Chain A
Amino acid sequence: MPSTTRRPGRAAARAGAGEGAPAAGDGLSGPQKLELLYWLKLNRALETRLASLFKQGKVLGGLYRSLGQEAISVGSAYALGPGDWYAPVIRNMGTCLVRGIPPRVLMAQYMARSIPVGGRDNALHFGFLDQGMVSTISPLGGLVSVMAGVALAFKMRGEKKVAMTYSGDGQTSTGAWHEGVNFAAVQSLPFVLFIENNQWAYSTPVSRQCRLENLSGKAAAYGIPGETVDGNDVLAVYEATRRAVDRARGGGGATLIEAKTFRRLGHSEHDDPRRYVPAEMFAEWEKKDPIDRWVKALSAAGLIAGPAIGEMERRIESELDEAQAWAEACPPPDPATLTQGVYAEA
């Protein structure tokens, strides 16, 4: 069993995610780094647009945003290869975007339209098998063993493919989560599991979930590599995922990656986190904004400048305008379809 569990010192862990520039030597080209910026900005802009549609009563049910956490979805998804499978959790819209789900489909889904899944379930609760996207569900923990099973099928067929999914800090408390990670570890499956530690599970701080400073420490209990990364550093997330994906593809088994971050909004759109999250945390983490940091890094490297950033933002807004028009033109589901598809033959 590999013993590459990397545990940052306790002082570093307490300090949380750093504010420094991303590390060099990542193997990504300049255009790829700009692409990362595009996905980060698209992720945020799309969720901002959805929040506005939520206020207008057009987005229905819950809206779970990832403000300040986008680097985890984007950086991790960017490290997957063609044919790899993934399952998002509620704050991983960025993963879906990077893996090819168009904004118009996401908008239609959030507006309870007939596309993509007939209005049967909300938010990121949908999937496309032909694109390797497995639907998330609300009860936490169970998805881990499902994605381990996806990885098991890859392994049985000798395919060099990887399954990846996410969990929040709260989800790590469930028995199903433990069973899933342990199964993947024992079977040495090509599996990558993120713990997106945003420090709050609804209103409960991570200190009430677990005594560990770094949740990646849980990996030791399963005998698999565990690593804690700065979740607000898109390059660090990409690199950690890349290492884990390469290891999985090479037959090295499962990896647990904890990405430390902070949930800057409520659990859902209706929720005001300022009622239970210390005020100073918001200020502290705004300074660590993953998009601002990436812009700074790219600017420092001479890869992008002000006008190009503005152009990218305008391009995104225009894409979202088109997506919104398309989604709003999507018909709502027909109640006559409700009983269809419970079984294969129905």
Chain B
Amino acid sequence: MAVLTYLEAIRQGMWEEMEKDERVFLLGEDIGAYGGAFKVTAGFLDRFGASRVIDTPIAEAAIVGAAMGAALNGMRPVAEMQFIDFISCAFEQLTNMVASTRWRWGASVPMVVRGPCGGGVHGGPFHSQNMEAYFFHTPGLKIVEPATAYDAKGLIKAAIRDDDPVLYFEHKYLYRRIKEDLPDHDYVVPIGKAALRREGGDVTVVTYGSMVHTALESAKALEEAGVQIEVIDLRTLLPLDEEAILASAAKTGKVVVLHEDRRRGGIGGEIAAIIAEKAFEYLDGPIVRVASLDTPVPYSPPLEEAYMPNADKLTRAVKDLVAY
């Protein structure tokens, strides 16, 4: 057992996969000598050499395109977006090429695109975004977003071993704020499986990423008020673990979907629709979304605080739903 931060867990997962499988390599901006903007890849260059830890030009479309070509040709690339916001520069590659390839002509594209997402660190509009909704609509991609160090390691390993392209969103707020004892043995967290983080019978909170911790914080306050929430950590956003969502919705009859991404067009809408279609008879109230406001991500602390969900906002929403 060793206590690792969320960031160290990602690093260790990639490191182990690179030790185990010489097809795995990294490419991205400033990932080599510099070790990455957040130091996720610190030390990789010395251990694995410049041919497997490739510092690229500032060219996200080429990074993702080249990763796809290498994946077609037998490799297992892990591409880093310095900030996940910049994945928009490779939107065309991901949605038109990477995602459709298996379906269009049967070729496997085993690649990972990972990068730091999310706000709460005053990064402003271009260093704080959550990009999952843009890609959630695209068949052929998988999307994961870990909330714990254990999952961070287990999901990066699962993503690297997966035969489909996986977007791995790591929340930068969690990088060094959370840590846990991780097992010494090799393990993966299966893609497509949610985790039950807290049991409760009154209201289900379906969430993922950094917001899992927000939900658990809110759970304490709610418990004092006599309300028990059940917290579902999705871990994988595409494909969604519908079974876990529906089972909890059926159990509590009241559901809040909580995500840090914006409300309109966020994946919370899809989750709400799935519940409405498939668990309608169990519901005792409206499916409620708690999400960020429909503006760009603001920079200044009071604005960012107003923009993002937090434990207080969730607590109020849950109490309103309980009272419904």
Contact = CB atoms under 8 A, between A and B. Distances in A.
A145 B75 CA distance: 15
Contacts of B108: 344
B3 interface: no
A163 B105 contact: no
A147 B67 CA distance: 10
Interface residues of B, number: 43
Contact of A150 (B57, B59, B70, B139): B70
Contacts of B68: 146, 149
Nearest to B64: A145
Contact of A183 (B56, B72, B142, B164): B56
Interface in A135-193: 135, 137-139, 142-157, 163, 175-176, 179-180, 182-183, 186-187
A86 interface: no
Contacts of B75: 152-153, 156
A175 B72 CA distance: 23
Contacts of A296: none
A341 interface: yes
B295 interface: no
Interface stretch (B92-100, B201-209, B212-220): B92-100
A183 B62 contact: yes
A41 interface: no
The CB with the most chain B CB atoms within 10 A, among A120, A135, A152, A179, is that of A179
A137 B97 contact: yes
B324 interface: no
Interface string A314-346: 000000000000000000000000000111100
Contact of B71 (A149, A176, A179, A186): A149
A342 B70 CA distance: 20
Nearest to B238: A343
A292 B65 CA distance: 39
A101 to B, nearest CB: 13
B65 A344 contact: no
Interface residues of A, number: 44
A126 interface: yes
A159 B320 CA distance: 64
Contacts of A13: none
B105 A135 contact: yes
B259 to A, nearest CB: 23
Given A176-B61, A179-B59, A121 B69 contact: no
A167 to B, nearest CB: 13
A151 B57 CA distance: 17
A179 B57 contact: yes
Contacts of B56: 183, 186
A343 B70 contact: no
Contact of A142 (B54, B65, B71): B65
A145 B52 contact: no
A342 B102 contact: yes
Nearest to B74: A153
Nearest to B59: A179
A85 to B, nearest CB: 7
A125 B104 CA distance: 8
A154 B142 contact: no
A308 B96 CA distance: 46
A135 B57 contact: no
Contact of B65 (A148, A153, A187): A148
A212 interface: no
B107 interface: yes
Contact of B105 (A117, A157, A176): A117
Contacts of A85: 73
B61 A175 contact: yes
Interface string A118-138: 001100011111000011011
Given A152-B66, A343-B142, A117 B57 contact: no
Interface in B45-89: 51-52, 54, 56-57, 59, 61-75, 77
28 contacts: A85-B73, A117-B104, A117-B106, A120-B103, A120-B105, A121-B105, A126-B105, A127-B105, A145-B59, A146-B68, A148-B65, A149-B66, A149-B67, A149-B77, A150-B72, A152-B69, A152-B70, A156-B70, A156-B75, A179-B61, A179-B62, A179-B65, A182-B57, A182-B62, A183-B62, A186-B57, A342-B140, A344-B162
Per CB-CB distance, the 9 closest pairs between chain A and chain B, nearest first, are A149-B69, A145-B65, A149-B66, A153-B73, A179-B62, A344-B163, A179-B59, A150-B69, A183-B62
Given A134-B69, A176-B61, 13 more contacts: A117-B106, A121-B104, A135-B105, A142-B65, A149-B69, A149-B77, A153-B69, A153-B73, A154-B73, A155-B51, A156-B75, A187-B54, A342-B102
